Structure 1
Amino acid sequence: MSLRPTLETRKAIPTMEGAGVKLHRAFGFQDPSELDPFLLFDDFRNERPQDYQAGFPWHPHRGIETITYVLSGSVEHSDSLGNNGTLGAGDVQWMTAGSGILHQEMPKGSQTGQMHGFQLWGNLPAAQKMTTPRYQDVPRKEIPEIMDDDGTVVRVIVGTFWGKTGPVDGIAADPQYLDIQIPAGVKKTFPIDTYRRAFAYVFEGAGAFADASRPAGVLLEKEVGGQEVNIRDMSGDRTLVRFGSGDEVTVQAGPEGVRFLLISGAPINEPVAWHGPIVMNTRTELEQAFRELRNGRFIRPAH
């Protein structure tokens, strides 16, 4: 087994999207090869309704897939195909935009006004850019949740892990999407297929992700739950950890434990032409998409 090196850790950047939703962007609109097949990752988390209620009114997508994972509050959605519904706490929606879709997403807070969720964009390969759009809505109760003997809890949203398979399937990037919670002081190793690009996103507590050249536990500064922890190496709330190649990731939970998403996928390795919500392979395809959007031919009839 080979430990994946930590190539980079960086904080998500505050930004604004939609009609004025305040969120934090971990990556997106930069180098699309960096985390190929993934293009963008947003953490929309607010305590004040005025920071999210304007939502994401009608807008187009083509050439991508999006996964929305709600932790608290809810998101009402509707689209040009006539689909509509509500995602509640713990629910997941995977949307394949394919040849083109118009949709809107309107966040609604919990009873105490809190709203928290994530959205990840996955690229589609050229052969599937113009596929028929579809949705997969998955309620919380259908998502497998595994508890290990040491108290570690893993929700398997997509892919197979520890003998459990998530309910979302047929995704072009062949992703694995895990929600992992590790108790304070516990050190844990997770396997990841070598051919996948991988990243972690920490959103509760803190953890030290071991580096192949500097394993967690050197330059020790504190003991937590019987384990020595290097506090200076901790990745805390709203931190992206980007990994190099290898087939496992090791993390040492900090004094408050750690909760993070561990996401990996098979790189597509194709050229990317990207503008706003539309991602194609060439500039010509991109121009055609916006031309069709202007002349009312963006939405293709279902086959």
Structure 2
Amino acid sequence: MTISRKIRKVFKSRPIIQGADVHLMQVFGHREIPLFDPFLLLDDFRSNNPDDYLSGFPWHPHRGIETITYVLTGAVEHGDSMGNSGRISSGDVQWMTAGSGIIHQEMPKGDPNGVLEGFQLWANLPAAHKMMDPRYQEIRSDQIPILRLDNGIRIAVICGTVEGVTGPVSDIVIEPEYIDVTLPAQTAYVHPTKTGHTVFAYVIAGKGYFCGEKKPFSYESEGRNDYDLEVPPYLGNGTLALFEDGEEIAVSAEDEGIRFLLVSGKPIGEPIAWRGPIVMNTQEELRSAFDELQKETFIKKGTG
């Protein structure tokens, strides 16, 4: 008998200011450790106001993590300490492994109407890989396979394998799956998941029900007032469901359909020492990393 996952907890994205005064929505972050292990942070940077994002993220370091940037509308221009530079645009993905250390910048650009839509996910690296060589996997939209099912369901496979279709991002330590799923109105979908993996779904359009759950108070919700009788039973735009363990998840769309990012990964289960853009295992390692920044010995991999 297949074990279906249930909703463990629901989170609503919350406003936050990062970088050089960039206004965005954060879905989970430092205060949620270790619920999302191996994932650390998910930012939603959708806006139609250039004042929210044009100041961007000037030069800053990373060590011990991977950042996954997925752009739906607009673009993000980037450069780094290894001499790389480029631009990811609508439908593109950048999977950056910071490893032993990288210094880079990310500058968002809206489309001709000033619209920017995208998401950045941080994934932790286990201790044995925190000092690996930094690298980029830059994936163009036409390299991401689209799976279309008979009932009109569309799945963009960024990482992992869905019904024999494998995404272009490969050789990632935490064995992740990252897919962009769209269900038309009044359709349902069941997706197999690896037992023992952390799995979450972040709704980016429409609304629907996950795990057959239609009772609004049957799961814990971050920041919810228990006396609020207006809590909807469905999950809508800007809402994330973190699931309990199991072999599959089920989702059904309402009248307007639903679009969501489905992400999973193998938990690391190690201590986390996190300050700003650097994530290590101990406070001593963290202090050492910031000392190296001051001494300009942070970068271990030469330019190329």
TM-score, scaled relative to structure 1: 0.93
Structure 2 unmatched ranges of 5 or more: 217-230
Match of 1:233 in 2: 233
CA offset at residue 135 of structure 1? 0.4
CA offset at residue 31 of structure 1? 3.5
Match of 2:204 in 1: 203
Structure 1 unmatched ranges of 5 or more: 220-230
**In structure 1, the residue corresponding to 2:179 is in which secondary structure?**
strand
In angstroms, what is the RMSD of aligned CA positions?
1.4
Are residues 238 and 217 of structure 1, via their aligned partners in 2, closer, same or farther at CA, if it must alter by over 3 Å?
Answer: closer
**In structure 1, the residue corresponding to 2:254 is in which secondary structure?**
strand
8 Å Cα contact 1:60-1:103 kept in structure 2: yes
Match of 1:168 in 2: 169
> AA paired with 2:233?
D
Structure 1 residues 130-150: Cα deviation after superposition (integer angstroms, max 9, x where no partner)? 011000100000001011000
8 Å Cα contact 1:216-1:251 kept in structure 2: no
Whole-angstrom distance in 1 between the partners of 2:126 and 2:24: 28
CA offset at residue 202 of structure 1? 0.2
Structure 1 residues 228-281: Cα deviation after superposition (integer angstroms, max 9, x where no partner)? xxx942100100100000011111101110000000000011111111100001
**In structure 1, the residue corresponding to 2:45 is in which secondary structure?**
strand
> AA paired with 2:109?
K
Match of 1:90 in 2: 91
1:179 and 2:150 matched: no
**In structure 2, the residue corresponding to 1:45 is in which secondary structure?**
coil
Whole-angstrom distance in 1 between the partners of 2:108 and 2:34: 30
Match of 2:192 in 1: 191
Match of 2:43 in 1: 42
CA offset at residue 217 of structure 1? 6.1
Matches within 5 A, 1:283-298: 283-298=283-298
8 Å Cα contact 2:153-2:183 kept in structure 1: yes
Match of 1:158 in 2: 159
TM-score, scaled relative to structure 2: 0.92
**Is 85-94 or 30-39 further displaced after alignment?**
30-39
**In structure 1, the residue corresponding to 2:114 is in which secondary structure?**
coil
Match of 1:9 in 2: 10
8 Å Cα contact 1:94-1:136 kept in structure 2: yes
**In structure 2, the residue corresponding to 1:268 is in which secondary structure?**
coil
Whole-angstrom distance in 2 between the partners of 1:14 and 1:108: 20
Are residues 100 and 217 of structure 1, via their aligned partners in 2, closer, same or farther at CA, if it must alter by over 3 Å?
Answer: closer
8 Å Cα contact 1:189-1:250 kept in structure 2: yes
> AA paired with 1:28?
G
Structure 1 residues 178-226: Cα deviation after superposition (integer angstroms, max 9, x where no partner)? 100001111211111112100000010001112xxxx34679xxxxxxx
8 Å Cα contact 1:173-1:266 kept in structure 2: yes
Q: Identity across aligned pairs (percent)? A: 51
8 Å Cα contact 2:79-2:106 kept in structure 1: yes
8 Å Cα contact 1:145-1:156 kept in structure 2: yes
8 Å Cα contact 1:109-1:115 kept in structure 2: yes
1:139 and 2:140 matched: yes
Whole-angstrom distance in 1 between the partners of 2:145 and 2:41: 25
> AA paired with 1:142?
Q
> AA paired with 1:261?
L
